[in-house]
Each structure stands twice: as C-alpha cells, then as structure tokens.
Amino acid sequence: MEAVNPATGERLDVYDPDDDDTVERKLDHATSTFEDWREVPLREREELLENASDVLRENKQRYAELMTREMGKPITQAIAEVEKCAWACDHYAEYAHKYLSDEHHPSPPGTEVKTVHDPLGPVLAVMPWNYPFWQVIRFAAPYLTAGNVGLLKHASNVPGCALALEEVFAEAGYPDGAFQTLLVGSSNVDSILADDRVRAATLTGSGPAGRAVAETAGKHLKKTVLELGGSDPFIVLDDADLDAALKTGVQARTLNGGQSCIAAKRFIVHTDVYDEYVDRLVAAFEDLTVGDPMSEETDIGPQADPDLMAELHDQVQESVDAGATLLTGGEPLARTGAFYPPTVLTAVPSGCPADTEEMFGPVATVYEVADADEAITVANDTRFGLGASLWTSDRERGQRLARDISAGCVYINEMTKSDPRVPFGGIKDAGYGRELSEMGIKEFVNKKTVWVE
C-alpha cells in the first residue's frame, strides 16, 4: 500500500496491509473493547472527546502537511480541515448528553415509559480520500461518544492519514480498541461487513461502492448510512447579489480542487444575468493560482491521483466533442504532477458526461434558464440529490423554491456545506441516512423502549 505525492509523483512511504490474522485480531479486540466501553459513563466519553479536540489542534500543522502530501489539498485548506474536526469534537463533547437523553412518552398513571439510546457495537466506516480527516471525525466523534467502537477502512492512497487518526484517539486517552484502522483494500470490505462482530456500517464514496455495502448489509440485516456522489446545482436567479454569488460560487466549485461531493457542479443562471455572470466566472477562474499545495498562495493543488485526473479530462473532452463550449481550461497542465486547471463549460448538451455524471474536479458546467421554474426543473434533472445552493435577494422566495428542490439540503445565499450542528445527507443516488447533529449521533443506536409498570 503506497502513499504517493500527487504534486510531484514522489513515493512517500510503503505500508504493509493487514493480513487476515491481523484483521481477525482487530475484530476480536473491537468486540471485547465494546463490552467495557459501552459501560463508560457518557460524561467520561465526552471528556475524552474534548481531549481528542485538543490533540487535533496541537498537531494541526503536522496533520495538515500529511494530508497535503498524500492527496494534494492546499495547505491552508488542510489546516482548516483539522480545525473543523476539532470543532466537531467540541460540539459533541458539549451536546452528546442532550442528544442522547432519555425521551419520555405518555403512559398510564403510575407507569413510566421512555426511549433510551444504547450503542450497537463495532461500526465499520469506509471513508474516502478527499477530506481524509473530516470524513472520519464526523462519523467517529458522534458514534464513539454514543458508546460504539470504530473500525476505519480508509482510502488506500491516504494510509498515513488513517494511522494518524488512530493516533488522535490513542493520545486522547481512549481505550485501546475503541478506534482501530484496518489497512486493507476494498476487496476486503464485503467479508468484514458480513462478519457477525460488525454491527453496522457507514460509507462515504462512489455509487457502486455504496450499492455493494448496502447489498451486503441488507443480506445480514445491518444498519447503514451512505453518503454518495452529488452533482449539486448552484442556482443564480435574476435578483441575486452577483458579487456574493460569484465569490461563493468560485469557492464552492474549486475548494479542495473541486473534489467534493457537495461542490457546486452545475451553475444554473437566469438569462437576465447569465452573460455577466459567465464572463465574471471565467475571469475569476483564470485568476486562481494552481500550483504547489504547500504554498499558502495556492488556490488549487493537484488532483489526488493521475488516473482520477485522466478520468476527469475524458469527461470534459467527451462533453466538448458532444457540443459543449469550452470557455477556459480543459487541458491538464504541462508540468509534473496531476494538475488540472479550473474549467468552464457552457451550452452543455443533454446526455453528455458533463450533464449526467459527477465531475470530481474543478469543472463548472453552466446552464442558462428563462425563469425560476425552469431553474428548479434543471436542478432536479439529475439522479443525484445531495445538496443545492440558491441565490436570490428575496429570502421568502428562496425558502419557497427550496421546498421544490430534490436534495438533502438547500442553502440559500450560501454554499452547501457540512456543519456539526445540522443534519447532513442526501436522497436518490446521493445515498440515505444522516450524519452530524442529533440525527447523526442517533443513526447507530438502539432506540429502546423501556416500560416501567
């Protein structure tokens, strides 16, 4: 298992994957640890999570540089990711006891009826490389605090991050076995999930990976949460604040090199402001700095892998061949590393890759619409349904239109984002279940009714 710097092609390190005996030992260890961990008082689990927050902040530069080396995230964004992880830990350390408090129900005189929230056991997490710390912490912070134990199968190109996350919980004082990394390939997931010792699973990743996990989990009647792909609309109406919609739109499409499920991918712009918005979008894209991700001046680093960049470029080329208009970008940069420039496509034909597939890189497709009704129609014309961003100066209009958008979350005059205070997740091919907030921490608990006569 190799870690390769996508900015330079340099091999950073080689890791020996866990063999079958090691996986067996870790599953046993998770099971035995759970029996003790579930009995630890919730307040003590919250205190340990506070410790984890401290560990993240104390080591944020080292963890950020590790991320940047392994998957190319610009260093300033990597530092921000570690800080966001610490914030999520702070949130659950403060609110877990409120979220998990007993819920009392109406009952006959003299009786007490309540719902309690018991942990399920070892939870398998199959996580992606694009936010290698945040994706993990946003499952681990709530699920471990609820009394479960975690088994992380991270993406194979970020093994150093996977082991560093194990270090976070160890240094925070969690018992050995409460959070373990499994250095295994994707081919091992099915057998691990089928094991009786694993009680539930969460996955963030591609549609095919999600379907495979859901199929295996379904056979064994295990709870799952899936956060899959997205092709999020970014709707700019005729009364939008164009300055704000432009500034946020550029960030929403290019943050993390455009490698985000909730990135703004389809810009749907009212005809009255279309020409101005497109001209300014192209100019802003061309003004971005693509380069060394270790430099604080860099806006966009390399794509995480040369093969992923090649796949992205094929989607762009096929779309142009089908009739899309390329306004800027569209060719890998002639330099060492997997660098792809910010790209804008307009006049995108129906059915081409830029119209129907998720573009996992800094490529914006722009659609012109005549009115708000057409904007909603175009926004919903996708098999995905993760997030959406809608821009209008009329907040009541925005809230009214938000109800018509088929997505798990709609942000009005703001970019789509994940926030530990609010539920996060999608519908349709974007997955099911919710992460974060009270909903997230309750996804992997037994909501047990207790009737006391």
Structure tokens at 395: 């907040």
Instruction: Answer yes or no: 44 catalytic.
Output: no
What CA dihedral angle connects 225, 227, 228 and 234, to 10 degrees? 150
With contact defined as beta carbons under 8 Å apart, do 124 and 193 qualify?
Answer: yes
CA dihedral 187, 193, 198, 203 (to 10 degrees): 90
Cβ-Cβ contacts under 8 Å for 62 (sequence gap 6 or more): none
161 noted as active-site residue: no
Instruction: Report the CATH fold assignment for 232-381+387-412.
Output: Aldehyde Dehydrogenase; Chain A, domain 2 (3.40.309)
Identify the bridge partners of residue 118 per DSSP, sorted by sequence position.
Answer: 446
Task: Give the C-alpha distances (Å, rounded to integers) separating 130 from 173, 256, 259, 261, 379.
Answer: 27, 8, 6, 9, 25
Q: Rounded to whole angstroms, how far apart are CA atoms 77 and 268?
A: 27
Contact yes or no for 397/423 (Cβ under 8 A): no
| C-alpha distance across the termini of the chain, in Å | 57
Q: Which of 261, 357, 368, 409 is flagged as catalytic?
A: 261
- In this structure, are residues 316 and 363 in contact, taking their beta carbons and an 8 Å threshold? yes
Question: How much is the pLDDT for 282?
Answer: 98
User: Quick one: pLDDT at residue 98?
Assistant: 98
pLDDT of residue 204: 98
List, by residue range, all CATH 3.40.309.10 domains of the chain: 232-381+387-412
Output the pLDDT for position 244.
98
333-338: long-range contacts, CB 8 A cutoff, minimum separation 24: 333/290, 336/7, 336/8, 336/9, 337/6, 337/7, 337/8, 337/9, 337/72, 337/302, 338/6, 338/7, 338/72, 338/302, 338/303, 338/304, 338/305, 338/306, 338/308, 338/309
Contact 344, 327 (CB under 8 A): yes
Q: Where in the chain is the domain with CATH 3.40.605.10?
A: 2-229+428-452
Q: Quick one: pLDDT at residue 109? A: 97
Token code pair at residue 247: 């500034």
Task: Give per-residue pLDDT as tens, 334-361.
Answer: 999 999 999 999 999 999 999 999 999 9
Task: Give the tokens for residue 243.
Answer: 């300055």
Cβ neighbours for 338, distance < 8 A, ≥ 6 positions apart: 6, 7, 72, 302, 303, 304, 305, 306, 308, 309, 332
pLDDT per position as a tens digit, 169-202: 999 999 999 999 999 999 999 999 999 999 999 9
**CATH pick for 2-229+428-452 out of 3.30.565.10, 2.30.30.100, 1.10.287.3610, 3.40.605.10:** 3.40.605.10
Distance CA 166, CA 171 (A): 9
Q: Which residues of the chain have pLDDT under 70?
A: none
Catalytic residue, chosen from 70, 81, 166, 227, is 227
Q: What is the pTM of this model?
A: 0.97
Give the single-character DSSP code of 436. Answer: S
